[in-house]
Amino acid sequence: MHTAVDLQDLRKSFRARRSRGAGARARLADLVAPRTESVTAVDGVSLRIGAGERVAFIGPNGAGKSTTLKILAGILHPDSGNVHVDGLVPWRDRRALGFRIGTVFGQRSQLWYQLPARATFDLLAYVYELSPEVRRARLDALVAAFGLEPLLDRPVRQLSLGERMRCEVAASLLHAPRVLFLDEPTIGLDVTAKATIRELLRHRADVDGTTLLLTSHDTGDIEQVCDRVVIIHRGRILLDTSIDELKRRYLRTRRVTIVTAAEQLDAAVWAGVRASVVAAVPHRTTVEVDASDAIVGILVDAVTKQTTVRDLIIDDPPLDAVIRDLYKAADSPVHARAEVPA
Amino acid sequence: MTTFPSRTVRGELAKYGAFARVGLAGARAEPGKTYAGIVFLFVILGVFSALWRAVGAGGSSAETRGTMVWYLAMTEWVLFCAPQLHFDVEADVRRGDVAYQIARPVSYLGAQLARAVGGMALRAPVLLAGACAAGLLFGGRPAHPAAIVRVVVIGIGAAVVMSAWYVSIGLLAFWLGDIAPVYWIWQKLTFVFGGLLLPLSFYPDLVVRIATFTPFPALLTGPASFVLGHPMFGTIELFALLMLWFTVASAFAVMLFRRATRTMQLNGG
Prediction ipTM score: 0.83
Task: State residue A337's pLDDT score.
Answer: 43
Task: State residue B265's pLDDT score.
Answer: 52
Q: In what order do the strands lie in the sheet with A35-50?
A: A35-50, A3-18, A80-85
Which residues of chain A have a CB within 8 Å of the CB of B29?
Answer: 114-115, 155
d(CA A94, CA A96): 6
Backbone angles phi, psi at A88, to 5 degrees: -110, 150
The C-alpha R_g of chain A, in whole angstroms, comes to: 25
**Nearest Cα to Cα of residue B102 among B205, B171, B201:** B171
Distance from CA of A336 to the nearest CA of B (A): 28
Q: Is B110 on the interface with A (CB under 8 A)?
A: no
Which region holds residue A44: left if phi is over 0, alpha if psi is between -120 and 50, else beta? left
Identity of the residue in A108, A127, A155 whose CB atom sits nearest the CB atom of B104:
A127
Instruction: Check whether B161 has a pLDDT greater than 60.
Output: yes
Chain A residues contacting B via beta carbons under 8 Å: 14-15, 41, 66-67, 70, 73-77, 94-101, 103, 105, 108, 110, 112, 114-115, 119, 122-123, 125-131, 134, 137-138, 155, 175-178, 208
Share of chain B above pLDDT 70, in %: 92
Task: State residue B59's pLDDT score.
Answer: 60
CA-CA distances (angstroms) from residue A264 to A7, A253, A269, A270, A287? 57, 23, 11, 12, 13
Residues 6+ apart with CB under 8 A from B110: B16, B19
Which residues of chain B have a CB within 8 Å of the CB of A123?
Answer: 18-19, 21-22
Q: Is B53 on the interface with A (CB under 8 A)?
A: no
Instruction: Count CB atoms within 10 A of the CB of residue B242.
Output: 22
Distance from CA of A55 to the nearest CA of B (A): 21
d(CA B256, CA B172): 8
Q: Using one digit for the tens of pLDDT, what is the confidence trace for B134-149?
A: 999 998 888 888 899 9
Contact check, Cβ <8 Å, B95/A108? yes
Q: Is B9 on the interface with A (CB under 8 A)?
A: no
Q: Per-residue confidence at A146, pLDDT binned at 50, 70, 90? A: confident
d(CA B3, CA A127): 12
User: A33: buried, middle or exposed (CB in 10 Å: 19+, 13-18, 0-12)?
Assistant: exposed
Size of interface A-B (CB pairs under 8 A): 102
Largest CA distance in chain A: 79
Q: Per-residue confidence at A32, pLDDT binned at 50, 70, 90? A: confident
Determine the 3-state secondary structure of A168 from DSSP: helix
Identity of the residue in B3, B5, B269 whose CB atom sits nearest the CB atom of A75:
B269
Task: Give a three-class secondary structure readout of chain B.
Answer: CCCCCCCCHHHHHHHHHHHHHHHHHHHHHCCHHHHHHHHHHHHHHHHHHHHHHHHHCCCCCHHHHHHHHHHHHHHHHHHHHCCCHHHHHHHHHHHCHHHHHCCCCCCHHHHHHHHHHHHHHHHHHHHHHHHHHHHHHHHCCCCCCCHHHHHHHHHHHHHHHHHHHHHHHHHCHHHHCCCHHHHHHHHHHHHHHCCCCCCHHHCCHHHHHHHCCCCHHHHCHHHHHHHHCCCCCCHHHHHHHHHHHHHHHHHHHHHHHHHHHHHHHHHCC
Q: What rounded mean pLDDT belongs to chain B?
A: 88
CA-nearest residue to A117 within chain B is B22
Q: Is residue B29 within 8 Å of residue B13, measured between CB atoms?
A: no
Contact check, Cβ <8 Å, B22/A112? yes
Tell me the mean pLDDT in the region A11-15.
87
Backbone angles phi, psi at A173, to 5 degrees: -100, -5
Backbone angles phi, psi at B262, to 5 degrees: -65, -45
Contact check, Cβ <8 Å, A175/B2? yes
Q: Using one digit for the tens of pLDDT, what is the confidence trace for A311-338?
A: 888 877 667 777 777 787 777 755 444 4
Tell me the mean pLDDT in the region B236-245.
96
Tell me the mean pLDDT in the region B203-219.
93
Task: State residue B158's pLDDT score.
Answer: 96
Identity of the residue in A74, A128, A175 whose CB atom sits nearest the CB atom of B103:
A74
Q: Is B6 on the interface with A (CB under 8 A)?
A: no
Task: State residue B2's pLDDT score.
Answer: 47
Identity of the residue in A114, A126, A176 whose CB atom sits nearest the CB atom of B14:
A126
d(CA A331, CA A169): 35
Q: Which helix (H) or strand (E) holds A121?
A: helix A117-127
CA-CA distances (angstroms) from residue A140 to A46, A127, A146, A147, B2? 39, 18, 10, 10, 16
Which residues of chain A have a CB within 8 Å of the CB of B4?
Answer: 96, 99-100
Q: Per-residue confidence at B165, pLDDT binned at 50, 70, 90? A: very high
Which residues of chain A have a CB within 8 Å of the CB of B26?
Answer: 112, 114-115
Distance from CA of A229 to the nearest CA of B (A): 24
Task: State residue B269's pLDDT score.
Answer: 39
Give the ranges where A241-318 is alpha helix by DSSP (H): 243-250, 268-272, 293-306
Q: State the pTM of this model.
A: 0.80
Q: Per-residue confidence at A341, pLDDT binned at 50, 70, 90? A: very low
Contact check, Cβ <8 Å, A114/B269? no
d(CA B264, CA A71): 12
Triad B42, B48, B51: Cα angle to 5° = 145
Instruction: Check whether B4 has a pLDDT greater than 80.
Output: no
Task: State residue A1's pLDDT score.
Answer: 65
Residues 6+ apart with CB under 8 A from B52: B60, B64, B65, B68, B69
Identity of the residue in B5, B106, B269 whose CB atom sits nearest the CB atom of A70:
B269
Tell how strand A211-215 and strand A54-58 pair up.
parallel
Identity of the residue in A75, A96, A114 whose CB atom sits nearest the CB atom of B99:
A75
Contact check, Cβ <8 Å, A75/B22? no
Contact check, Cβ <8 Å, A129/B14? yes
Q: Using one digit for the tens of pLDDT, what is the confidence trace for A67-93?
A: 898 899 888 888 999 999 999 999 888
Contact check, Cβ <8 Å, A95/B4? no
Which residues of chain A have a CB within 8 Å of the CB of B95?
Answer: 108
Identity of the residue in A66, A123, A138 whose CB atom sits nearest the CB atom of B18:
A123
Distance from CA of A67 to the nearest CA of B (A): 7
